[in-house]
Structure 1
Amino acid sequence: MTYDLAVWEGEQPADDAAGAAAFERIYRKYIGVDEGVPPTPRIRAYVEALLDRWIDMTEDDDDVSPWSDGPLIGNASGPIVYFAMRYSMCEEVSAGAVRMAAERGLICFDPQWNRLRPAAEEQ
């Protein structure tokens, strides 16, 4: 079981419904396609920051990586990265990933709950 997050560049959606609509549009354009687009510099920098904090699954000899697949940068396309983490580690890792996205002015969306993150109770 995994927990997924989507992080992208763009205008901050007004609410969760607008976030869900924006996620669907950007997912169909960049993730739900046969041929990916190289990640933008901001998305690449975000993924690199995640990997500075948590090891990439492809380099993990001790089974401590929180990611569900790798390399993590392979989940990025253009202005979005859509990635999954182990459910057993998702509270800590998703909180950190959300904070890191917010610090970089990126949008973070939880597709399981159809809501933007950080949610009001996380701020």
Structure 2
Amino acid sequence: MSYDLAVWEGAQPGDDVEAAGIYEQLYEEYMEGEELAPTPRILAYAEALAERWGVMTGGKTAGWGSLLDDASGPMIYLTMPFRMAGKLSAEAARLAGERRLVCYDPQSEHLRPAHED
């Protein structure tokens, strides 16, 4: 079982409903459509996240493959083992917030804030 997050470039949606609509549109266009090279911002985010996750897991992410396998244009779709999702997803949301990227949880259909209490 895995836990997934979507991160994309764009204005912060006003609420979860707006985020869900944007997510569906972007997912269809960039994840199901023609694959595009990741934008520079998504590339930088993926590189920072891979480095941070590697530190957090003692290198256990090495077998997951490249985060960029699921990046296209202004969007990246992150899949992580459910047992590690708490800390890893919080770090993904934090790094997205630092870079002014939108972070969305498609399972619960909620925006992920940069800092969770």
TM-score (norm 2): 0.90
Q: Which has the higher helix share?
A: 2
Identity %: 49
Indicate the residue corresponding to 2:51 in structure 1: 52
Tell me: CA distance 1:66–1:107, structure 2 relative to 1, closer, same or farther (3 Å): farther
Aligned to 2:95: 100
Aligned residue among 109, 116, 122 for 2:116? 122
1:39-118 aligned at under 5 Å gives the runs 39-55=38-54, 64-65=60-61, 69-118=64-113
Runs (4+) off by over 4 Å: none
- 1:11 counterpart = 2:11: yes
CA-based RMSD of the aligned residues comes to: 2.2
Unaligned 5+ residue runs, structure 1?
A: 56-61
After TM superposition, give the deviation of residue 54 of structure 1 in Å: 2.1
Q: Secondary structure at the match of 2:10?
A: coil
| SS, match of residue 28 in structure 1 | helix
Look up the SS of the partner of 1:36 in the other structure: coil
Residue deviations 1:63-97 (CA, integer Å, cap 9, x gap): 72188x42111110000001100000000000000
- By how many angstroms is 1:18 displaced? 0.2
Query: Could you tell me which residue of structure 2 aligns to residue 58 of structure 1?
Result: none
